[in-house]
Amino acid sequence: MDRHKQPAPARRVTAQQLALEHIRELVVSGKLKPDARIRQEQLAAELGTSVIPVREALKTLEAEGQVRYTPHKGYQVARLRLEELTETYLIRRLLEDEIVRIAAPALDAGHYAKLDALMRTMEGASVADDPHLMISANRDFHFTIFGAARQPRMEDFIRMLWQSTDAYRSVYYADRRSRERVNEEHASIVAALRVGDVDRAVQELDEHRSHAVAALAVWLAD
């Protein structure tokens, strides 16, 4: 080992990045729900920063479709129309079905060990009525599979689509039956991948997404 080699400098996180992560967390956790007004000054005070990084973070989220700006009203968490939600999930299906087919042959024992651990975390979170932990583990579950494909640009597009519907995950996972069904579906997806039945795994994923859309369609209609 070269004793003179300097360690790589730690990545510096900007105030804008901190603001972006904080707002995302509020949306995913359900603390900011669809239509909720976003108070920039309050967020800036929570983060101990000026309003400028918060405003820049909101512009990023607006470009992703997570928030909307209305003159004289400011920023609000975006409420999707059913047509927008359906289209988002359709695009997800096209990309996710393909990335899973690419990923499937590359999944190894390490991937499956991680998937098993995440499924246990989700089962525990469901029993404990902890939707936020379940949402986090669910995201890690899916992106563990996607990541095995080593298609970073495709994965980034999928991540953006997920982010555009983050405000609705707390709604879906608040329902106990939905949480139980998600756990059952994850187990079926992993079982199919383990035996190399990629077609069945893709079909299970399609049904998995369809159940989410159907449940959210009911909520959007209220």
List pLDDT tens digits, range 48-77: 999 999 999 999 988 888 888 988 889 998
- pLDDT (0 to 100) of residue 220: 80
Integer CA distances (angstroms), 164 to 51, 64, 130, in order:
23, 6, 22
> Which superfamily is assigned to 82-221 in CATH?
GntR ligand-binding domain-like (1.20.120.530)
Residue 209: which residues within 8 A CB-CB, separation 6 or more? 89, 92, 93, 96
Measure Cα distances from 209 to 97, 140, 169, 180 in Å: 11, 16, 12, 15
Q: Is the dihedral of CA 47, 31, 180, 141 positive or negative?
A: negative
Interval 200-205 mean pLDDT? 97
Residue type, 171: V
Determine what percent of the chain is predicted with pLDDT higher than 70: 94
Residue type for position 99: I
pLDDT for residue 200: 98
Q: Which residues pair with 16 in a beta bridge?
A: none
Instruction: List CB contacts of 142: < 8 A, sequence separation 6 or more.
Output: 96
Backbone dihedral region of 32: left (phi > 0), alpha (psi from -120 to 50 degrees) or beta? beta
* Predicted structure pTM score: 0.80
Amino acid in position 216:
L
The residue among 211, 166, 165 whose CA lies nearest residue 188 is 211
Name the residue ranges covered by the structural domains of the chain: 15-77, 82-221
For domain 15-77, which architecture applies? Answer: Orthogonal Bundle (1.10)
Q: Is the pLDDT assigned to residue 98 strictly greater than 50?
A: yes
Query: What is the Cα–Cα distance from 77 to 89, expressed in whole angstroms?
Result: 19
The residue among 51, 26, 28, 53 whose CA lies nearest residue 40 is 51
The pLDDT assigned to 1 comes to: 44
Q: Is the pLDDT of residue 3 over 60?
A: no
